[in-house]
Amino acid sequence: MKQRMNFLIRITGLVTMFLYCTHDLNAAVISVKKDGSGGARTSVYAALAAAQAGDIIEIADSQEYVEDVTIVTPGITLRAAAGQTPTITAANLAERFAAIGVPGTDYAGLVVQAPNVMIEGIELYNPTTELNLVPISSVVLIAAPAVTLKNCRVKGPGSGVPNDHLGILAVTLSTAAASVRVSQCVITDCPYGTVTTTFNPAFPAAEMTVEDCTIIGTLVGVQTHDGKTTVTNCLIQDSTAQGVQVGGGQVILESCRIAGSADKGINIDYDPNYYGIEPDVTVTHCRFEDSNTAHIFIQDGKLSVSGCIMTFSLGRDLLIEADGNFDVVVKMDHCDLYQAALGAVLFQKPGSHTITATFTNCIVTGVEGFVNNSFFDDLDIQAFVVDHCDIFVDNPDFALINVTGTNNLFVDPQYEDTVDFKLKATSPLLKAGTNGSAMGSHGAREQGVENWGMLQP
């Protein structure tokens, strides 16, 4: 998402003071039905207008509500009644951000501007291909602390629609940092599935946690410009560009599966339109499958990868460049790098920044191993260390090129299978890692990489 919100930097007057609250034991339950039966409100807007802090708004039918929903009352729960599957479709008529320099229709869908809000069991849809003056649109915009989306379906206008149409946007617009937990949701048909950002550097950083979700059919599944995004036990599949895109800030991925990315599984490339927040990415116990260019690409910041499986990249498992804005530090430990079409790890495009790359306890099979391409330009990488790894490749002359290598093996790893990559009892790698650990992902923890039973669209 291109950052074109310079006018927001001039915000000086918009500081919204929120009261933190929990649900009162005597909270009212306000029913919503299209037919108004039983005294129910006939719109979500009417129910919100009647609600007080801590109340529950329950949509008691499976109808479509075409509304621009805005939640400004703390502690509200907006949920589907048991057995119902309502849809809130953005009407795209509201003008909610003129006070902060965004006049006109905001195309922001459902907007949460109050803390401790829960949205549960609802399909949220924004079909618009229009953009506001930022210019973006979104299905859900979170600008408040402690917001939760649970068991929802978030749907946009389609991954092939051009421009910056976002699924769930966590954005700090005041002195209260935006934070959202997205749990057991399906996010689909959005050019950008989730986006975490803070448009004004004077405001605290936004945070998003995505857990037990399926993100499918997006251009980019998860995007972070600054702030922090944590993604746990999620399936990110069939992104038409990147599964995860990191333009800055902190990203943590744990026990995720990133499959079928048309470009890169993870793209770590600083976006200079933001505020100098160095990318810092940690990936543990994840599985990468069938990325087109690379499972992970980095040219800025820090990357730590451990206990991961990477299979059948059509390019590289890991591609490192040095022509970005920050020094590059890469650490990879106890990973299986299996059958990348062009080879496992390549360093190329030396630039003005230093690179330190350290690989330990990894198993590499396929065409090539660890290649420092600056060797061919008579340039030296600052540090490219491969220690206690097994490099069993088709081209042994390209197992280790311009790399400092110690305690390495060049033998068949003897996998039991190439699904979970356990080693046979006869494998020479079972105790060949550091401190007598097994090489590969099963040396990182006994059970290896998780299996994913995700929600499906």
User: Can you say how many angstroms the Cα of residue 28 is from the centroid of all Cα atoms in its chain?
Assistant: 36
pLDDT along the chain (457 residues), means of 10: 38 34 68 97 98 98 98 98 98 95 96 98 98 96 98 96 96 94 97 91 92 96 96 96 96 96 97 84 96 96 96 96 87 97 85 85 97 61 86 95 92 93 95 95 66 47
- Coil, strand, or helix at residue 435? helix
Amino acid at 188: T
Provide φ and ψ at 98, rounded to 5°: -60, -35
pLDDT in the model for residue 274? 74
| 402: its two tokens | 């311009």
Amino acid at 151: N
| 149: its two tokens | 């989306």
pLDDT in the model for residue 379? 46
Length of the chain in terms of residues written: 457
pLDDT in the model for residue 21? 40
User: Which residues touch 57 (CB under 8 Å, ≥6 apart)?
Assistant: 29, 30, 32, 44, 47, 48, 51, 76, 77, 78, 79
b/e for 14-50, b at 16 or more Cβ within 10 A?
Answer: eeeebeebeeeeebeebbbbbeeeeebbebbbbbbee
- Coil, strand, or helix at residue 426? coil
pLDDT in the model for residue 351? 66
Q: Cβ of 103: how many Cβ atoms within 10 Å?
A: 12
Which pTM value belongs to this model? 0.92
**What does the DSSP assignment read for 299-363?**
SSEEEEEES-EEE--SSEEEEE---SSS-EEEEEES-EEEEESS-SEEE----SS-EEEEEES-E
Contact 256, 279 (CB under 8 A): no
| 205: its two tokens | 């950083």
- Coil, strand, or helix at residue 411? coil
Q: In whole angstroms, give the CA distance from residue 55 to residue 339.
A: 55
pLDDT in the model for residue 103? 95
User: Which residues touch 21 (CB under 8 Å, ≥6 apart)?
Assistant: 53, 54, 74, 75, 115, 116
Q: In whole angstroms, give the CA distance from residue 54 to residue 413.
A: 58
b/e for 214-239, b at 16 or more Cβ within 10 A?
Answer: bbbbbbbbbbbbbbbbbbbbbbbbbb
pLDDT in the model for residue 347? 85
Q: In whole angstroms, give the CA distance from residue 439 to residue 362.
A: 6
DSSP bridge pairs for 190: none
Using a 10 angstrom Cβ sphere, with 0-12 exposed, 13-18 middle and 19 or more buried, the burial of residue 318 is: buried
pLDDT in the model for residue 349? 66
17 secondary structure, DSSP code: P
User: Can you say how many angstroms the Cα of residue 389 is from the centroid of all Cα atoms in its chain?
Assistant: 29
Name the pairing type of β-strands 147-150 and 390-393.
Answer: unpaired
44 secondary structure, DSSP code: H
What are the structural domain ranges in the chain?
20-240
pLDDT in the model for residue 450? 58
pLDDT in the model for residue 123? 98
